[in-house]
Amino acid sequence: MNYFLSCDWGTSAFRLRLVETGSGNVLTEERSDNGIAGAYQQWQQTSLPREDFFAAIINRHIDALSERTGIPLQEVPVVLSGMASSSIGMVELPYKELPFSLSGTDLAVHAFSRFIIISGARSGNDVMRGEETKAAGCAAWLPDTTQDQWLLMPGTHPKHVVVNNHQAVRFQSFMTGEFFDLLSTHSILAASVGDDGTLLNDPAALACFTEGVHAGQTENLLHAAFMVRTNQLLKKISPAHNRFYLSGLLIGTELKAVPPGMPVYLVAGPLHTPLYTLACQVLNIPVAAVIDADEALIRGQRAVLKYG
């Protein structure tokens, strides 16, 4: 098996990558805004079997990829994780209960035709879909010890996954990204929060971010969030800079969950890596490694494929 197809089907976007199995290298990819929520709605209008309907959508994308590259892909396995196993996905699968091994051997998997669907994982009171695969994809970076390691996975709903002895033993979800979106667009703070621009190298923006990170550690979030408004009103901080205060405030609040001295593995993409790296610096949280989230996903899918 020289290749596999890695499918990342989110609520509002679709991404398909052709991966060289041995090296894990991505040869080419196909993207669309054909998100799983829309696909589910379309399926509800039909009388087709659910898995067949979803498979047909993926197969059309694969055909396009095959035509574009000239590589025959009809036999290549497709690995899906995340929303594909959700209530609006290709097939709803029960969550794997914690703990699970980072080897990828004991995640819940459902095979259909050439599709391998990885289910999410749950604890007694929390759930994830997709991050369990990324966690497995981090195995190569993590020491095989009985000391806790902390996987920090930013996003709309960040996850903190605690690994011990190459087992994911605990995790928590946060709402950092969604709070940022809600507060910066739908709340009274919207007028005090401007566009990002290219301010990441602007000392004034970074000072606002740092102030926010500290406030997130020490202040009551319900109060400190209102400071986004008074920063602009009383301190005349520009909305573009003030955006970084809100970002720092929320990330600083999230990172209160990291125990002092805990080595953190940051599993993130280009949007979150600089902000979380800086927040960890400000808070003296040691970052043992920065792992690209896409690479973690592909490595995790490859691990499941190997043992599945």
Task: CB nearer to a second copy: give 9 or 180.
Answer: 180
Residue 238: CB minimum distance to a second copy, A: 17
* Interface ranges with a second copy (CB under 8 A): 122, 124-127, 157, 172-176, 178-179, 182-183, 186-188, 220-223, 225-227, 230, 233-235, 250, 253-254, 256-257
Residue 89: Cβ within 10 Å count: 23
Task: CB nearer to a second copy: give 258 or 289.
Answer: 258
Residue 175: CB minimum distance to a second copy, A: 5
Task: CB nearer to a second copy: give 14 or 180.
Answer: 180
H or E stretch including 17? strand 14-20
* Closest to 90 (Cα-Cα) out of 115, 125, 64, 61: 115
The C-alpha atoms of residue 22 and residue 4 are separated, in whole angstroms, by 10
Residue 257: CB minimum distance to a second copy, A: 5
**116 Rama sector, left if φ>0, alpha if ψ -120 to 50, beta otherwise:** beta
Task: CB nearer to a second copy: give 88 or 240.
Answer: 88
Q: Largest Cα–Cα distance in the chain?
A: 63
In single-letter form, the type of residue at position 55 comes to A
Task: CB nearer to a second copy: give 120 or 137.
Answer: 120
Residue 144: CB minimum distance to a second copy, A: 28
Residue 280: CB minimum distance to a second copy, A: 16
Contact 177, 157 (CB under 8 A): yes
